[in-house]
Amino acid sequence: MIATIRGEITQVEENAIIIETGGVGLRVFVPKPLHERTKAGEAIFLFTHVVIREDDWKLFGFESQADRELFTTLLGVDGVGPRIALAVLSTLNLETVQRAVFNDEPALLSRVPGIGNKTAQKMVLYLHDRLKPVSGLEKIATMSDADSEVLAALIALGYSVVEAQTAIQSIPKDAPDDVEQRLRLALQQFTRN
C-alpha cells in the first residue's frame, strides 16, 4: 500500500515520529535506535509497512528494506503482532536475530521485552526457513556460558542487547573465563565511549 515515505520530521513523539509529506502529517512508528536519532526539521526517507486492523491503521517505518522484511516476517509468527515485532527491531539488530535463529539460541530473543521463552522458541522455528543467512554468519561462535552471564548482567544494568553484545565482543581474546573479570572488561568499553 505505502512502500516508502520521504518527508520532513515535524514532531518526535514518545514512540513515533510525525513526517510531513505532500501537506499531510503521517504518524510513523519506528524502532527505538532510529527514534532516538531523529530530530524535528530533518529530512527522512523510510521503507514502510502498513498494518490495518478493524478499528486502527498504523504505519511502521524502517531505515532499510532488510529491517522491513524482518518486521513483516516476524508478523507471521503465531503470537507476534506489530508491537512485539517492533520491540525486536528496537532491541536487536538483524545479525543478532539471524544468530539466534541459525545457532538455535532462543534465549537471545527472549531478552526482548514482551517475548517469553515459548514465543522465542516459536520465532526460531518459524524464522529458520524464512531468514536468509548472511555470509560469514556461520563463523560466529556460540556465546560461552560466561559471556551469556555477562550479557544478562549488562542487560540487568540497563544496557540494550546490542550494546551488551558490542561490549562483549570488545573483550580481549586472551581474557580469563571468570564472569566477574569479563564483566569488568565489558563495562570498561562503556567508560571509553
Q: Could you tell me which of 95, 90, 84, 80 has the C-alpha nearest to residue 30? A: 90
Compute the distance between CA of residue 86 and CA of residue 114 in angstroms, rounded to an integer: 11
pLDDT band at residue 163 under the 50/70/90 scheme: confident
pLDDT at 141 over 50: no
- Do 137 and 98 form a contact (C-beta atoms < 8 A)? yes
Q: For a pLDDT cut of 70, what percent of the chain falls above it?
A: 93
Domains identified in the chain and CATH numbers: 4-62 (2.40.50.140), 65-138 (1.10.150.20), 143-192 (1.10.8.10)
**Cell 530473543 belongs to residue:** 109
- Do 67 and 31 form a contact (C-beta atoms < 8 A)? yes
Compute the distance between CA of residue 66 and CA of residue 69 in angstroms, rounded to an integer: 5
Q: What is the chain's length?
A: 193
User: What is residue 139's predicted lDDT score, i.e. its pLDDT?
Assistant: 37
Rounded to two decimals, what is the model's pTM?
0.69
pLDDT at 135 over 80: no
User: What is residue 100's predicted lDDT score, i.e. its pLDDT?
Assistant: 85
Q: Which range is least confidently modeled, 26-40, 70-84, 105-119, 141-155?
A: 141-155
pLDDT at 143 over 70: no
C-beta atoms surrounding 78 within 10 Å:
8
Coil, strand or helix: which one is 124? helix
User: What is residue 192's predicted lDDT score, i.e. its pLDDT?
Assistant: 66
Residue 182 CA from chain centroid, whole number: 24
pLDDT digits (tens, 9 = 90+) for 90-132: 988 888 888 888 888 888 888 888 898 899 999 999 998 888 7
